Amino acid sequence: MKSITFRSGNWEEHASLEPTHEVLTGQGVFETILVKEKTPQFLDLHLERLRHSSEILAIGTSDSEVITGGIKQLLKSHHDALGRLRITLYRGVPSPQLMLSLVDIELSAAHVSVNISPWTRNENSAIVGVKSASYDENVVALNRAKVTGFAETLFFNNAGELAEAATSNIVIVVDGEAITPPLNSGCLPGITRQVLLELGVMREVSIDAETLGRANAAALLSSIRGVQPIFRVGERQLNSLDEVLQHLTEVYAARTDQDKENWAKLQ
């Protein structure tokens, strides 16, 4: 992993965050971005969500041009086909601490299995919609799923409605239609989710356990996964080759190609 930290008006390599009270207590936000062929996908949407999360936690936001400049610096030495870029922003006085990191990754699996988490998502939490550095709740649930042989885990909320997965959003196919939980379910406003909604290929619907049980197909949605079909929820098999999911994948791929052109204009 290569990382750089913004300090005293410059990006410094091999510099770590200062272990301040804010850092030690997780008062920060982050974004995870797929880098493909030296292109950070949907950077503008990620920076917009970073600003939104920062506002909720009352963290001062960093200049987008500063972040973009740091990303360009990191990408100069990145030669692998795929990478995971992370922007981390912690509350600080007089200004936030900002770090960028970039690691090589491999292609996501063609499909995955998921279980239902025994814990619920709090749709009334003070930090709903925030991609918070305090990630333990997700990690604990995800680790439990992996120990039992699943790659991901799904959260219902306190109202008994499906919300999201530990590290992804969720879309299911019911009666030939792709639907995803609304934001008031407590789910994160994911970038892949946002793109697909804007393209009009899926819509928001409250999903209870009965509706999930009627789904013949489903997929995880995230910046790193893209549209990743689910072949099994618990012990129930799903159709990972569903035509609706394939259409989502094709439409999303076309949109990412368009976004690549937008990044090229910044060079």
229 or 263, which is more confident: 229
Report pTM. Answer: 0.94
Distance CA 245, CA 248 (A): 5
Average pLDDT, integer, range 113-130: 97
What are the CA-CA distances from residue 13 to residues 75, 92, 100 (Å)?
A: 13, 20, 10
Q: Is the model's pLDDT at 267 over the cut of 70?
A: no
| Nearest Cα to Cα of residue 37 among 104, 100, 87 | 104
Read off the tokens for 204: 């928001």
Characterise 49 by phi-psi region: left (phi > 0), alpha (psi -120 to 50), beta (else): alpha
pLDDT tens for residues 105-120?
999 999 999 999 999 9
Contact assessment for residue 22 and residue 28, using Cβ atoms and an 8 Å cutoff = yes
Name the residue range of residue 195's domain. Answer: 112-256
Domain of residue 27, CATH code: 3.30.470.10
What is the number of domains present in the chain?
A: 2
Pick from 104, 127, 152: which residue ends a domain? Answer: 104
Distance CA 205, CA 222 (A): 19
Q: Could you give the angle at the alpha carbon of 102 between the alpha carbons of 97 and 106, nearest 5°?
A: 145
Domain identity same for 51 and 75: yes
Q: Is the model's pLDDT at 262 over the cut of 80?
A: no
Q: Is residue 263 part of a domain?
A: no
Domain of residue 158, CATH code: 3.20.10.10
CA atoms within 13 A on the CB side of 55: 7
Banded model confidence at residue 265, pLDDT cuts 50, 70, 90: low
Domain identity same for 88 and 204: no
